[in-house]
Each structure stands twice: as structure tokens, then as C-alpha cells.
Structure 1
């Protein structure tokens, strides 16, 4: 068994008594306090996340924009420099290799931020599809530590040490500047459903910035947050988790990500998605509300009577909404809001109703 990798903030997690777990080959904090307390803190105030395990892949050269556009279903060519787009990256069969953020750094350079568990796979995939595009591809993950500061009061706190005018950064845009005197790429992005920022800095500068943000926010209760709350927060906002909602087999259209698919351009997997748009899909990702407090876990089956009609991708008892909620792939006749189904939980069938997603909308800024 290979040794677990550690982020530049590992010693901070130990010092702060984080509960460390193996996550995608990284030794990461699952929680520092209870997951529910951490979740509620981000919803009401702000919390600090180490997301340095995420991967960064840079594409540079005369064809960087065109190649990036070819790799993902969303549009990179329509972005202005300084803008970011969320997108699936598909295989030839329309399944999802990964879901990524693409940063348009300039007219000849982009940065793909990819999931930690997929970094090596993504790098191989991008490299193998280079073809005749005039680009250089670099795994730049070791060049960055990434800190996310999320919550309705994140801008207020971070502004105290930011030389970047945070209020001027629109949602899904970024600026270069200094935060607490440290060079950073500052983006208004995150995966919690709340407003906030992701800061890309030199790994050697990460500890100083981490400690400074915690110090600044201490008077209003800002604390470090683990991966447990990151998962419950993203779930309430109905953000996808690769390996749960997204995989190499289900397409962006099945995952409810039609808004990320731009059919006016060429991209890998386009032909399959064209066919699905024309003829429809058998399954689509939908939200469920379960009766009672039973939790529908990943992989549990969904039924209508004796007929199996789908499967659960993620489920929690929502700390914010105080309801048992789940995301599930369901057959077409059950897509309508209000459709009634049953989830099999430990041999028993729990009634559930199809509900609208996202389950929760927080302080996250609108793209409009």
C-alpha cells in the first residue's frame, strides 16, 4: 500500500486536532468539530477549507483555447480572460471523464482544476487527445496550495487583508493580486452553495495565509472545515460529486447538466449527446425527499412497487432543511415533481417524493 500524500497544510490539521482520513490517496481532515456544527458555521458565517489535494493542469500555446474547448462540453472560447467555466469533460461514449473548472488565464493559456481522485487519469486523457493541437500540457498540481474560504461573511473577513478588491470580482471570475502580502490567484468560486473564494498560492505560503484567515475570523467564530461538511454542503446545493452523481457511463444530459453542453461547437462525445438530445435518455438525475429520518445511501435501489426504477447517488439528513434528501437516477416516467417512489433501506421500503433541486440556495452569487 502506497503512502498517503499530504498537503502543505497537513501539520496545521494535526495541530488543530482534525480527524484525518484517506481521501483519494491523501491524508485529509474529515472534520475538526462535529460535521453538523461545521456545516452550520459555513451556512451562517464562514469556514476555511484545505482543498490543496485538487489537481491543476495547465494548457498553454497558440491552440490552448481551441483545445480546451474540444475537451469540455461547455464553452471556453466564449469566455473573457479572467473568467471561469464549470464543465463536464466527456469520453467518446458521452460518459464523464471528470467535472472540471476551466480558468481562462489569457488568450494562450488555460488551467483545468480537476478532482483529486481523477488527476492522473485526467492528465493522461488530456495528453492522449492532444492530436495536432499546438499546445503544451503540464501537471501543475505541485505548484499550488488551494484554500477555500466559504460563507456569507467570507468577503467581509477576507477584505481586511486582500489587496484585491473582492467586491469587484464577479461570480466565476478571478483576479491576480496579494492577500496578506502573499501572491495569489483569487477566484469567486466554491462548492458549498455559499458565497466565497478559492485562493491559489505557493505551497510555502499556505500556512501563513491559513493562519491569518483563522485569526481574522476568530471573533465571529470562523473555523477550519473538513471534507465531511464539504460533502453535506455541496449536496444541499445539488452540486455533483464525481464517483457518485458523475461517472464514465452517465452523460451530462442524464446528470441534469444540459446547461453545460454547447452543441454549436465540436467536443469529444458530441455525437452521443446529439443522439440523446434527439431521442431522450432513459434515466435522469432527480431530487428525492424521504419520509422520516432514514438516510438513502449511495447505491441503494429505488422502486415503484416491485419494479426497480433507479438508484441513489447521494443522500443525507439535511442539517439546514432538517429533511432526509437524496439524489437519484430515475426512469423517465418518474421525472415529474411530486412523483412517488420507494427507496429500499436495509430491506425495507421508505416512501419518497420527487422534489425540485437544488434543495437549498444560499449566499452564492448569481452568474447574472
Structure 2
């Protein structure tokens, strides 16, 4: 057992409440990174199986009622409480004959998690993630040295091999997704696959389970490709996904980035790609992700949108209709040609 793994085990064993935080792939649109979200889900379920109070990307944290008093101005000799029907009385006894209650305040505070676990966070987002979730201790898991799947497998195994065995299918799905992004298979990925097979992983069954999970994704991708078109004069491939497509396929917005990658691969040869989708029935409901085959055009294009460049993509939102978004995107692309 590595020193880091041993330290992790010690921290987890001492914690009662744990918050697992996964930074979105795009902060403005709150689009999740599916691989990191799966890693967070594996860890979250593991903590629950340990009997911990675990939350994954908690949006409504638990709050405590906080009673504060200045004991210099209001000395207290005894504190007790008693029930009176449905009421709970908190009784503070003071040596002063007529205590001044103006020194007592009642407020609310967010209950801090004993442990905050950050799943492979971008370095520039760590301060914001730490500030967002109240915590007493923090652990950061990264994919710098090895796959998240391999790192999670190691952490689960140090508690008990049964936890690794119980998560083997999801670890395989995560490992497959991480390996897919590499030009060649990694050594740590190969070793993990061998371990999962030794634990009884049925690779064919796991593949089938993955396909079932991906069913909604493939249906949504089919709709995106069916609506795709190529505008030759600006070398741009377009596709559109109305809200009804998400409802009919059962897919969520978390599929957008992967849909976009498949769309780019299918429309290879275009100079630009733009995928537009409808997020809700509210005004300003259309969002878009845009990319270019020429990376030198991305920065000036992002500047025209007043957006930041996220890896090799630009995210834009706040359009009231597909036509409005299309006109603006087309106009900006023409300016960088």
C-alpha cells in the first residue's frame, strides 16, 4: 500500500460526512465531464457502502442552526435543554442576576463535510471548488500519473477486495472511456483490466451493459446527424437539437460534448463545426458549442463571442432562437476566414 493510499484510508475512516465534487467540463453551461462524473459516482457509492453520509455534487448543502454568545459579556455557568411538548428549550444559566440577551445571536451555517474529495479538478478551478463546499479536510484525485479508473481501483482495494469486485463493471466502463482517448493502450490500464477479469468481469456482459447505458446517447446522436448540414461557402458543418429530441430519447445535456465529438468525426473535412441545442422552454434557451479545424482561428472567434476558449471548443449561450444563434455564429465565422 502506498503512503498516499494509506493516508486516504485513514482520512476516510475518520470521516462521517463526505462531499464528492466534480467540476463541470464547461462552467457557463454547467456541462459535466462524463468520465469524471462516473469516477465521482463510483466513489460516492463506495462511501455509502461504508456507511458514510456522502453527497455527489451537492447543490443544496445541509444547514445547521447556530447559536452564538459572547461569554465575556454574558458569562455562562450551566447549559442544558429540556423538551416541552413539541418545543425544545435551551437553557443558559448565568451568574448575572439580569443577563443581557442582546449578546446572543441565532443564525444558520452550512454544515461542513468532514472530507471533500475533488475528482481531477483543473488547477485554476480548485480555489472555487474549495470555497463552494464547506469542509474540514480535502483530498484531490488526479489522472496525471495513472487513469482515474486505476487510481479508484487501488483505493477501493485497500479497504476490501469486495468493494473492487462490486464496482468492476463501472470501473471497466470508466477505463474503456479513458483508454479510448489515448493513441495506444497504457500499462496501468492493461494491468487493471487483467485484475478486473480475475475478479470475474464478464467483458461481453460489461460491453452490453455499456451499450444499454449508451442507448439514449446513440438515439440522440442519430437525431443530431440526421439534422446535420454543410454550408460550403464558409466551410461549416451545422447540427441542431431541439428540446423534444432530449425528451424523446431520454438523453440529457450531459451527452452534448460526446455528441459533438462524434459529429465532428462524422463531418470530418469541415473547417468549422457548430452544434446548437435547446435547453428549456424559457427565453434565451439556445446554446451552442463551436470548434475549428484551424486552432489559430479559435481565439479570435472566441473573442467575437466574448467567450473564453475551453480546450478546443467555444461555448456560447443566451440565444432566444436557433435562427438568432445561426445568424450570429455565421457572421462571426465569416470575420475570421
| TM-score by shorter chain over 0.5 | no
Q: Which has the larger radius of gyration?
A: 2
Where is the helix percentage greater, Structure 1 or Structure 2? 2
**Greater relative CO, 1 or 2 (CA 8 Å, sep 6+):** 1
